[in-house]
Each structure stands twice: as structure tokens, then as C-alpha cells.
Structure 1
Amino acid sequence: MKTFLPRRTVLGASFLSLLPLPLQAAPGLSGPVDGSVGPTLFIGDQKGGIRSLLRAAGQLEQLPYRIQWASFPVGAPLISAIASDALDFGYVGDATATFTFAAGSPLKAISAWHVDGKSNALLVPGNSKARIMRDLIGRRVAFVKGSPGHLLVLAALRQEGLDVGQIVQVPLAAANARMALSSGSVDAWAIWDPYAATAELEDHARILLTAHGLVDEVECGIASEAAIIKKRAELTDFMSRVGKALTWGANHQEERALAFSRDTGTPLDIARVSSSRMVMTALPSVTDEVIAIHQKVADLYQTAGVIPSRLNVIDFYDRSFLIPA
């Protein structure tokens, strides 16, 4: 017998209950080290993707500093670790950053990428009769709270003129959500690659819609205030290397997929699909457009009751970093 979750989950009832896990509950606070001389940058990474890309692109060679890596399954515990000064820097989506900024964390976004949105998807079981978001009225929709998937659900509802109260919101960790979708405990799951590609290829889930053309997104480079003061040169060099690696990866998708598969244990077919959809462009500095995109995300969160009040995201950006191409 299937056990179903309650009819309605009210996300706005207690904002504190929605904050990222405390640091000691977050996995991956130790990991591999690259480089052998100079100061150490403590970098958070999601599923090993940035480190794998940098290594494949040759950007971890001749480092003038050391990098201590910590790997996390999603962005919320990563940014929580930065807020706790256990890490210096890491990349998270604007949706995740908004969630943490609203909690008053002393962090700054010091760089940004444009994100295409094709890799952020709303999935349904392969045999689902749902074809558009409106077909999910009254249905259970899973997502990682405060994540790009959460943002996608809100944007899709807004496009259809629907209210969040017209679906059953089911905040779940990625691993639990995958099991819930495959077992029928939820009717849809909003998630990004490589999780989305895994559900497609291994569980025969179907993409209902993606963020592409639906909601603009940026990926934020988040740093602690201490790191900005003490490690500016190292942060600038690291972000420059990431930008070069992203350009390399866009032109070498097969090599990128092979490296990601080898470094993380992700099956190659899933790595290939993920690499083909993860279209990202690093910017040399934070622009007015980036802040405007991020402000729209924060406003959507506030309107939906995900954060308690309007957030001026410009207050959380440090625009002093110029990143060499």
C-alpha cells in the first residue's frame, strides 16, 4: 500500500524551518586537495562538477595556491557552509542564494553566470497523463525547497495563472524525491541535471517542461566576507579559471562528459545528456542585468510566501571583482 503525504504543505508558515541545514549536518566538509603551495582556498562544489570541469580543461595545473574541495549534493548545505566560514566560496543558483540572503547570512555574490535553463526540469512518470502544468492541479509536486527546482515550480504556476495552493507542495531531498516519483508517492518532481537525466534514463521519467524560456536564471559565485578581504587575488584567479573551463567545456562536450563520469562515478550516458543541457556563460563582472534577473527571482519568492518580505538583492552583491577572460 502506498503512503501518501499530506494534502497540503504550507511553506510560508515558519520561515526558520526552511533554512538550510546547519553546518554540522552538511556532508562533504573534507575532500581532495589540488595544488601544493601558497594559501588555501576552501571551495564548495555540487556533485564534483566544477572540479571535474577544471581538471578536464587543464585549469588546475600550476596553481599559485592550494584548493581544498568539499562536495555537496545540492546548493543549500554548500552555501550554509560558506555562511559558517567553513568554506570560502562556491557556486549556487540565484534561487538558493535568495533563500539564504533572506535569512540574513553575511555573504556576498561576487560573480555570476548566465544559465540557459534547459537542465532545470519538471519531471513526471513516463505513464503520467499530465502534459502541462495545469494538469498538476491538486497533485503532489516534489522539489528541494529554496532551489532552482522550487523556482521552476513557482514560475510554471505563475505562467498558467495558478496559485501555489492549487498543488500539493512536497519539499524533499533529491534522493528521496527520486524514489517518491518512481514509486508514485508524488506526481511530479522539479530538479536539475544530472538528477533529471538520471530519472529520465534510468527511471523512464518524462520532462513536462524546463526553465528554458520560462524563467531567467543566474548562477551566483558566493563568497564569505572574510575570504573577500583576505583572499581576493586567489578568488579572482579561481573564477577566471572557471570561466575558461566553461568556455572549453562548451566546445568539448564529449571530453567534459567523460571527465564528469570518471570523476564522479556518474554513468556516461547520463553525463552526456547533462553536459549537453548545462549551457552556462561566465561573465567578467556582475552586471545590472544579473541583478535585475535575481531581483525578479526574489520577488517571485516573496509573492509566493517563500521568504517573509521583499529582498533587495543588490545589497548582497559585491561588484568590485573584475575577472580576466
Structure 2
Amino acid sequence: MADPIRWGVMGAANFAKNQMAPAIHAASGAKLAALATSSPEKADGFRAFCPDLKVHDSYDALLADPEIDAVYIPLPNHLHVEWTVKALEAGKHVLTEKPIAMSEAEFDTLIAARDKAGLLAAEAYMIVHHPQWQRAKELYESGAIGKLVLVDGVFSYDNRSDPGNIRNKPETGGGSLPDIGVYTFGSARFVTGEEPDTVQSTIRRENGVDVFAHVTADFPSFRYSSITSMRMFPRQEMTFHGEEGVLKVTCPFNANVFGMAQITLERDGMSVTTERWPGVNHYVLQVENFGRAVRGEAAYPCPLEFSRGTQRMIDMVLAAE
């Protein structure tokens, strides 16, 4: 068996501590080896499940560590491009939290740095690694719902009680569109393989960030409608409505946290088929797929070119505001 890919985590973010670092630790072919944080006490939560974790006191020290093959970057949104490029220049493969960039134009920099380094750089867009979404794409492509007419979706939560949250700050790239619009937009693109021709939007802002966005769009063969919000009761669902059936993807984005990932297919004659995936961890699958791609065993399911398309749609929405 090939040696495991040795991972370093850049920053002791809660999401890294609670989700991605444990996923790296649990993934086959991976080893959680190091953490970079200027606050040594923040390393305790990581060492609780990875006692031999090496701790660096700076991001630069982590990138200079010759024993690290890949880094995971969960920094605030506005820092993603800078540190992704630095990681590539340091000779590390890099997986960066979404959104990996704040505009489509920034992908020119990312793709150029990736290609120059000859390394893997990708956005941590975990849902495409989940069998729920792979199955949704398979059903759609098989014609299970006939001609697609409408895709509609919603992703909402309420963080108004946490004004200091980076998602509520414009200077750190906050807003519902960069935070969760990547899921409603990207999942529709992933399943259908289509890109929007035109978009329309209704956006409500607080403190300079969008806290509610209703987006409609015309894709080449279907109509799209979605709501993202950081000021509504939590809800998430994506629906693909065709002439011959309806495909409902429930708990599409936070499997095992919001609920159980499942798909319901409704067809003629009141036929209803439900498929469920209890306990599947898409973060672990993401790390394992990343490792396969690094080792040349398989193509990575979410290259920068795919992520660029989602950011292009976000840019279109903001331009239509």
C-alpha cells in the first residue's frame, strides 16, 4: 500500500476541529499530521482525537514543513486565494474551503498556480462526493423524470444572534451567497451539467452582506429558482421537477447534521421510491477522493473548473442585483 498522504490544517477553526480534521484522521490513505495555530490552547481539541499531532505556530511554518504533503485551508473567505497560492508555491497539494475565491476572475490566478506547480488544488465542495448526489445525477441522466422543467431549492439557517461571525462581515467575504449559494447553484449544475444563460435576483442586505437572496435563472433546458438565507428557520432541499417525475433530494447539504441524506423519486401511477444513506460521511469521502487523485488513481470529482462555474453564477447574480 502507498504511504498515506500527510495532511496539515491551516488554522484551528471550529469547522476544521469538528468536521474536517476528524475526517482526515479517519480517511483511508490519509494521516492528520500537523496543525498551524498561533493559539496553542486551540490545539487541545485536535489532540483529543489525534494525540501525536505536530503544532506549528504560523501558517508559513506549516508550509515549510517537509513532512507535509497536503494542506486543508479553512480560513475566512477573503484569505482563500492568497493562501491557496502560497501552499502551491510551497509544493503542497491544497484543499480549500468554499468559496475558494470571491470572484470568477480570481480563478485565473488559482488555475495558473495549480498548473505551474503540477499539484492538486481544489475547493472543499463535499456534496459531489456523497453517493446521494452521485445517484441524483445518475437518475437524472437516465431519464427517470423525463424532460426537466424546473429545479428549485432552498438552504437557510439563522445566525443573526452572532454578529461577529465571519459570515456576517463584508470584510471577510460574508453573505449567504458565498456561504451556501455555492450549494444551491452548484448542485443544480452538477446534476444537469448545464450553465445558466440569464439570472434574476432579489437580495436583502444587512451590514453590507446578503442575508436573503431569491434567485431565478434560465438554463438552456430548464428554469431554476432558489432561496438562500442567514435569517430564516433552518431548511434545506433541492427538487428536480420533470414532465414524467419529481426527484427530491432531502438533507442535501449537511448530511448527518441536519438529518439523513435521502432521495425520493415520484413517478406516474403514484409510484414513490426512496433511497437513504445513513451514516455516510462526505467529508471522509472527499479526503479519500483527494488522495486518489493525488496518487493518480482517479480524476478528482470537483476540479477548479467546476468551482469556477459556480462562482460565475454567483457573479451573475450579484451583477443582476
**TM > 0.5 fold call:** no
Query: Which structure carries more relative contact order (alpha carbon 8 Å, separation 6+)?
Result: 1
Q: TM-score, normalised by structure 1?
A: 0.36
Q: TM-score, normalised by structure 2?
A: 0.36
